[in-house]
Homo-oligomer: A and B are copies of this chain.
Amino acid sequence: MSGEGRRPPGSAHPRPDMTPVDHAELALLLEVASTPKPGNVDRRRDHDDLLFEHFLAGAVGARAGLELATGDGNDGPPALGDAFERSVRGMSQQEGDNTQFGCLLLLVPLVRAAATDRLSPTGVADVVETTTVDDAVGFYRAFEHVDVAVDDPPAEADALDVRRGADAIPALRERDLTLADVMELSADGDDNAREWTTGFERTFAAADAVLDDAGPVTDRLARAFLDLLAERPDTLVAVEHGDDTARAVSRRADAVRGDLDAAEDLAEAFRAEGINPGTTADLTAAAAFVALERGVPV
Protein backbone atom coordinates (compact mmCIF):
# COMPACT_ATOMS: atom_id res chain seq x y z
CA MET A 1 0.00 0.00 0.00
CA SER A 2 2.37 2.63 -1.21
CA GLY A 3 1.49 6.18 -0.34
CA GLU A 4 -0.17 5.11 2.92
CA GLY A 5 0.16 7.88 5.47
CA ARG A 6 1.58 10.26 2.88
CA ARG A 7 -0.50 13.14 4.17
CA PRO A 8 0.90 14.90 7.23
CA PRO A 9 -0.84 14.11 10.52
CA GLY A 10 -3.35 16.80 11.41
CA SER A 11 -3.91 17.56 7.73
CA ALA A 12 -7.21 19.32 7.17
CA HIS A 13 -7.94 17.13 4.16
CA PRO A 14 -11.42 15.60 4.42
CA ARG A 15 -10.00 12.20 3.45
CA PRO A 16 -6.72 12.05 5.39
CA ASP A 17 -6.15 8.35 4.68
CA MET A 18 -6.85 8.44 0.97
CA THR A 19 -3.74 8.25 -1.18
CA PRO A 20 -3.27 9.64 -4.71
CA VAL A 21 -4.02 6.13 -6.01
CA ASP A 22 -7.28 6.05 -4.05
CA HIS A 23 -8.20 9.44 -5.46
CA ALA A 24 -7.32 8.40 -9.01
CA GLU A 25 -9.56 5.37 -8.73
CA LEU A 26 -12.32 7.43 -7.14
CA ALA A 27 -11.95 10.00 -9.92
CA LEU A 28 -12.62 7.26 -12.50
CA LEU A 29 -15.70 6.17 -10.56
CA LEU A 30 -17.06 9.68 -10.01
CA GLU A 31 -16.55 10.53 -13.67
CA VAL A 32 -18.75 7.67 -14.87
CA ALA A 33 -21.29 8.28 -12.08
CA SER A 34 -21.68 11.96 -12.94
CA THR A 35 -24.81 12.63 -14.95
CA PRO A 36 -25.78 13.91 -17.44
CA LYS A 37 -22.57 13.84 -19.45
CA PRO A 38 -24.17 13.99 -22.90
CA GLY A 39 -22.99 11.25 -25.24
CA ASN A 40 -21.13 9.26 -22.59
CA VAL A 41 -21.98 6.33 -20.34
CA ASP A 42 -23.06 7.79 -17.02
CA ARG A 43 -25.12 6.84 -14.00
CA ARG A 44 -28.33 7.04 -16.07
CA ARG A 45 -27.19 5.76 -19.46
CA ASP A 46 -25.41 2.78 -21.02
CA HIS A 47 -24.22 2.37 -24.59
CA ASP A 48 -25.18 -0.80 -26.48
CA ASP A 49 -22.08 -2.86 -25.69
CA LEU A 50 -20.52 -0.61 -23.11
CA LEU A 51 -22.21 -0.72 -19.73
CA PHE A 52 -21.80 1.23 -16.52
CA GLU A 53 -20.40 -1.86 -14.76
CA HIS A 54 -17.62 -2.15 -17.35
CA PHE A 55 -16.36 1.20 -16.10
CA LEU A 56 -16.55 0.06 -12.47
CA ALA A 57 -14.46 -3.02 -13.30
CA GLY A 58 -12.11 -0.90 -15.44
CA ALA A 59 -11.47 1.45 -12.51
CA VAL A 60 -10.68 -1.41 -10.13
CA GLY A 61 -8.54 -3.23 -12.70
CA ALA A 62 -6.51 -0.10 -13.45
CA ARG A 63 -5.40 0.20 -9.86
CA ALA A 64 -2.24 -1.95 -10.01
CA GLY A 65 -0.89 0.28 -12.78
CA LEU A 66 -1.82 3.43 -10.87
CA GLU A 67 0.16 2.05 -7.92
CA LEU A 68 3.19 1.74 -10.21
CA ALA A 69 2.65 5.33 -11.28
CA THR A 70 3.27 6.59 -7.75
CA GLY A 71 6.94 5.84 -8.23
CA ASP A 72 7.14 4.33 -4.76
CA GLY A 73 8.63 1.06 -6.00
CA ASN A 74 11.50 -0.39 -4.01
CA ASP A 75 14.01 -0.39 -6.89
CA GLY A 76 13.63 3.19 -8.02
CA PRO A 77 10.53 4.60 -9.68
CA PRO A 78 9.03 2.26 -12.29
CA ALA A 79 8.88 3.71 -15.78
CA LEU A 80 5.80 5.84 -16.33
CA GLY A 81 5.12 4.05 -19.62
CA ASP A 82 5.13 0.68 -17.86
CA ALA A 83 2.71 2.04 -15.26
CA PHE A 84 0.44 3.21 -18.05
CA GLU A 85 0.60 -0.09 -19.88
CA ARG A 86 -0.13 -1.99 -16.65
CA SER A 87 -3.09 0.25 -15.88
CA VAL A 88 -4.56 -0.29 -19.36
CA ARG A 89 -4.01 -4.04 -19.15
CA GLY A 90 -5.84 -4.13 -15.82
CA MET A 91 -8.59 -1.84 -17.11
CA SER A 92 -9.21 -4.16 -20.03
CA GLN A 93 -10.30 -7.09 -17.85
CA GLN A 94 -13.99 -6.55 -18.55
CA GLU A 95 -16.21 -7.16 -21.53
CA GLY A 96 -16.63 -3.52 -22.63
CA ASP A 97 -13.14 -3.29 -24.17
CA ASN A 98 -11.85 0.31 -23.97
CA THR A 99 -13.45 2.10 -21.05
CA GLN A 100 -10.82 4.47 -19.67
CA PHE A 101 -7.71 4.53 -21.88
CA GLY A 102 -7.74 8.32 -22.26
CA CYS A 103 -8.50 8.90 -18.57
CA LEU A 104 -5.49 6.80 -17.63
CA LEU A 105 -3.23 8.63 -20.08
CA LEU A 106 -4.05 11.78 -18.10
CA LEU A 107 -4.11 10.22 -14.63
CA VAL A 108 -0.78 8.39 -14.75
CA PRO A 109 1.43 11.54 -14.91
CA LEU A 110 -0.92 13.36 -12.49
CA VAL A 111 -0.61 10.52 -9.97
CA ARG A 112 3.19 10.59 -10.33
CA ALA A 113 3.12 14.35 -9.71
CA ALA A 114 0.80 14.04 -6.69
CA ALA A 115 2.76 11.17 -5.15
CA THR A 116 5.95 13.22 -5.41
CA ASP A 117 4.32 16.37 -3.99
CA ARG A 118 4.24 18.45 -7.15
CA LEU A 119 0.65 18.36 -8.31
CA SER A 120 0.72 21.67 -10.18
CA PRO A 121 1.08 22.69 -13.83
CA THR A 122 4.85 23.06 -13.46
CA GLY A 123 5.15 19.85 -11.42
CA VAL A 124 3.35 17.71 -13.96
CA ALA A 125 5.30 19.44 -16.75
CA ASP A 126 8.45 18.19 -14.95
CA VAL A 127 7.03 14.68 -14.97
CA VAL A 128 6.35 14.95 -18.70
CA GLU A 129 9.79 16.37 -19.45
CA THR A 130 11.62 13.48 -17.80
CA THR A 131 9.87 10.77 -19.81
CA THR A 132 12.08 8.50 -21.89
CA VAL A 133 11.98 6.39 -25.03
CA ASP A 134 11.15 3.42 -22.79
CA ASP A 135 8.07 5.31 -21.60
CA ALA A 136 7.04 5.75 -25.23
CA VAL A 137 7.50 2.00 -25.71
CA GLY A 138 5.16 1.31 -22.77
CA PHE A 139 2.60 3.69 -24.27
CA TYR A 140 2.64 1.85 -27.61
CA ARG A 141 2.43 -1.53 -25.88
CA ALA A 142 -0.74 -0.38 -24.12
CA PHE A 143 -2.50 -0.32 -27.51
CA GLU A 144 -2.13 -4.11 -27.64
CA HIS A 145 -4.71 -4.47 -24.86
CA VAL A 146 -7.69 -2.54 -26.27
CA ASP A 147 -9.09 -0.92 -29.40
CA VAL A 148 -8.64 2.84 -29.28
CA ALA A 149 -10.26 5.21 -31.77
CA VAL A 150 -7.56 7.43 -33.26
CA ASP A 151 -7.14 9.45 -36.42
CA ASP A 152 -4.88 8.39 -39.32
CA PRO A 153 -1.37 9.78 -38.84
CA PRO A 154 0.20 11.96 -41.56
CA ALA A 155 1.91 9.84 -44.26
CA GLU A 156 5.42 10.60 -42.98
CA ALA A 157 4.45 9.36 -39.49
CA ASP A 158 2.85 6.12 -40.70
CA ALA A 159 5.53 3.99 -39.01
CA LEU A 160 4.47 5.57 -35.70
CA ASP A 161 0.75 4.87 -36.06
CA VAL A 162 -0.29 3.87 -32.53
CA ARG A 163 -2.54 1.20 -34.02
CA ARG A 164 0.68 -0.68 -34.87
CA GLY A 165 1.14 -1.23 -31.12
CA ALA A 166 4.42 -2.98 -30.31
CA ASP A 167 5.28 -3.16 -34.05
CA ALA A 168 6.03 0.57 -33.96
CA ILE A 169 8.74 0.15 -31.31
CA PRO A 170 11.70 -0.13 -33.74
CA ALA A 171 10.65 3.14 -35.38
CA LEU A 172 10.33 4.81 -31.95
CA ARG A 173 13.81 3.69 -30.96
CA GLU A 174 15.33 4.62 -34.28
CA ARG A 175 13.93 8.17 -34.03
CA ASP A 176 14.77 8.34 -30.31
CA LEU A 177 11.30 9.59 -29.36
CA THR A 178 10.35 10.00 -25.70
CA LEU A 179 6.77 9.79 -24.52
CA ALA A 180 6.76 13.60 -24.31
CA ASP A 181 7.82 13.69 -27.99
CA VAL A 182 5.04 11.28 -28.95
CA MET A 183 2.47 13.42 -27.15
CA GLU A 184 3.82 16.53 -28.87
CA LEU A 185 3.36 14.82 -32.25
CA SER A 186 -0.25 13.89 -31.37
CA ALA A 187 -1.26 17.13 -29.67
CA ASP A 188 -2.85 18.66 -32.73
CA GLY A 189 -5.66 16.16 -33.12
CA ASP A 190 -5.91 14.73 -29.62
CA ASP A 191 -6.77 16.92 -26.65
CA ASN A 192 -5.49 14.34 -24.16
CA ALA A 193 -2.04 14.50 -25.76
CA ARG A 194 -2.41 18.28 -25.81
CA GLU A 195 -2.74 18.32 -22.02
CA TRP A 196 0.70 16.69 -21.81
CA THR A 197 2.16 19.62 -23.77
CA THR A 198 0.49 22.45 -21.80
CA GLY A 199 1.09 21.53 -18.16
CA PHE A 200 -2.42 20.07 -18.07
CA GLU A 201 -3.88 23.54 -18.47
CA ARG A 202 -7.52 22.58 -18.99
CA THR A 203 -7.39 19.90 -16.29
CA PHE A 204 -6.26 22.33 -13.61
CA ALA A 205 -8.68 25.04 -14.76
CA ALA A 206 -11.60 22.58 -14.65
CA ALA A 207 -10.51 21.35 -11.20
CA ASP A 208 -10.57 24.94 -9.93
CA ALA A 209 -14.09 25.35 -11.30
CA VAL A 210 -15.16 22.13 -9.56
CA LEU A 211 -13.66 23.34 -6.26
CA ASP A 212 -15.41 26.74 -6.60
CA ASP A 213 -18.75 25.14 -7.48
CA ALA A 214 -21.28 23.91 -4.88
CA GLY A 215 -23.48 20.87 -4.41
CA PRO A 216 -22.82 17.14 -4.84
CA VAL A 217 -19.51 16.40 -6.53
CA THR A 218 -21.21 14.45 -9.31
CA ASP A 219 -23.29 17.53 -10.25
CA ARG A 220 -20.17 19.68 -10.19
CA LEU A 221 -18.42 17.24 -12.52
CA ALA A 222 -21.40 17.15 -14.88
CA ARG A 223 -21.26 20.96 -15.10
CA ALA A 224 -17.48 20.84 -15.62
CA PHE A 225 -18.01 18.37 -18.47
CA LEU A 226 -20.45 20.76 -20.20
CA ASP A 227 -18.05 23.68 -19.77
CA LEU A 228 -15.12 21.72 -21.19
CA LEU A 229 -17.19 20.53 -24.13
CA ALA A 230 -18.53 24.03 -24.84
CA GLU A 231 -15.00 25.45 -24.68
CA ARG A 232 -13.34 23.27 -27.31
CA PRO A 233 -14.57 20.70 -29.85
CA ASP A 234 -14.09 17.14 -28.59
CA THR A 235 -11.26 15.45 -30.49
CA LEU A 236 -12.84 11.98 -30.33
CA VAL A 237 -16.00 13.36 -31.93
CA ALA A 238 -13.78 14.99 -34.59
CA VAL A 239 -12.07 11.64 -35.31
CA GLU A 240 -15.37 9.79 -35.54
CA HIS A 241 -17.60 12.40 -37.23
CA GLY A 242 -15.37 15.19 -38.57
CA ASP A 243 -14.49 18.70 -37.43
CA ASP A 244 -17.79 20.31 -38.41
CA THR A 245 -19.80 17.93 -36.27
CA ALA A 246 -17.36 18.37 -33.39
CA ARG A 247 -17.81 22.15 -33.55
CA ALA A 248 -21.60 21.80 -33.72
CA VAL A 249 -21.53 19.49 -30.69
CA SER A 250 -19.64 22.15 -28.72
CA ARG A 251 -22.18 24.80 -29.69
CA ARG A 252 -24.99 22.54 -28.52
CA ALA A 253 -23.17 21.99 -25.21
CA ASP A 254 -22.67 25.74 -24.86
CA ALA A 255 -26.42 26.24 -25.21
CA VAL A 256 -27.13 24.13 -22.09
CA ARG A 257 -24.12 25.15 -19.96
CA GLY A 258 -24.93 25.24 -16.27
CA ASP A 259 -28.38 23.72 -16.85
CA LEU A 260 -28.30 20.01 -16.05
CA ASP A 261 -32.01 19.58 -16.84
CA ALA A 262 -31.54 20.89 -20.37
CA ALA A 263 -28.43 18.71 -20.63
CA GLU A 264 -30.64 15.65 -20.04
CA ASP A 265 -32.33 16.28 -23.41
CA LEU A 266 -28.95 16.78 -25.03
CA ALA A 267 -27.80 13.45 -23.58
CA GLU A 268 -30.76 11.71 -25.21
CA ALA A 269 -30.08 13.48 -28.51
CA PHE A 270 -26.37 12.61 -28.58
CA ARG A 271 -27.14 9.01 -27.74
CA ALA A 272 -29.61 8.81 -30.62
CA GLU A 273 -27.04 10.38 -32.98
CA GLY A 274 -24.14 8.20 -31.82
CA ILE A 275 -22.13 11.23 -30.67
CA ASN A 276 -19.58 10.32 -27.98
CA PRO A 277 -17.47 13.20 -26.61
CA GLY A 278 -15.09 10.78 -24.91
CA THR A 279 -12.06 13.05 -24.71
CA THR A 280 -14.10 15.55 -22.71
CA ALA A 281 -15.04 12.74 -20.31
CA ASP A 282 -11.31 11.92 -19.95
CA LEU A 283 -10.56 15.53 -19.06
CA THR A 284 -13.42 15.47 -16.55
CA ALA A 285 -11.88 12.44 -14.81
CA ALA A 286 -8.50 14.19 -14.67
CA ALA A 287 -10.13 17.31 -13.21
CA ALA A 288 -11.93 15.13 -10.66
CA PHE A 289 -8.57 13.73 -9.55
CA VAL A 290 -7.04 17.15 -9.01
CA ALA A 291 -10.18 18.38 -7.21
CA LEU A 292 -10.15 15.30 -4.93
CA GLU A 293 -6.47 15.81 -4.09
CA ARG A 294 -7.30 19.43 -3.23
CA GLY A 295 -10.12 18.47 -0.93
CA VAL A 296 -13.40 18.70 -2.82
CA PRO A 297 -16.03 17.20 -0.49
CA VAL A 298 -17.59 13.80 -1.28
In Å, the complex CA distance between A71 and B93 comes to 25
Q: Copy number in this complex? A: 2
A69 to chain B, nearest CB (A): 12
A57 to chain B, nearest CB (A): 5
Contacts of A95 in B (CB 8 A): 297-298
- A56: CB under 8 A from chain B? yes
- Decide: A1 near B53, CB < 8 A? Known: A16-B93, A17-B61, A60-B26: no
Q: Contact check, B218 vs A26: say whether CB atoms are below 8 A apart.
A: no
Contacts of A44 in B (CB 8 A): 44
- Contact-size category for A: 35 or more
Contacts of A57 in B (CB 8 A): 15, 26, 298
Q: Which of A14, A44, A89, A93 has the most CB of B within 10 A?
A: A93
- Decide: A33 near B17, CB < 8 A? Known: A26-B57, A64-B1: no
- A67: CB under 8 A from chain B? yes
Contacts of A93 in B (CB 8 A): 14-18
Q: Contact check, A22 vs B89: say whether CB atoms are below 8 A apart.
A: no
In Å, the complex CA distance between A127 and B25 comes to 30
- A186: CB under 8 A from chain B? no
Q: Contact check, A218 vs B29: say whether CB atoms are below 8 A apart.
A: no
Q: Contact check, B52 vs A1: say whether CB atoms are below 8 A apart.
A: no
If A53-B218, A53-B298 are given as contacts, then 13 extra A-B residue pairs at C-beta distance below 8 Å, sorted by A number, are A1-B64, A4-B64, A15-B94, A17-B93, A26-B56, A26-B57, A33-B52, A43-B43, A44-B44, A51-B216, A51-B218, A53-B217, A54-B298
**Chain A interfacial positions (CB closer than 8 Å to B):** 1, 4, 14-18, 22, 25-26, 29-30, 33, 43-44, 51-54, 56-57, 59-61, 63-64, 67, 89-90, 93-95, 216-218, 297-298
Q: List 24 A-B contacts (CB under 8 A).
A: A14-B93, A15-B57, A15-B61, A15-B93, A15-B94, A17-B90, A18-B60, A18-B61, A18-B90, A18-B93, A22-B61, A22-B63, A25-B60, A29-B59, A29-B60, A33-B52, A44-B44, A51-B218, A53-B216, A53-B217, A53-B218, A53-B298, A54-B298, A95-B298
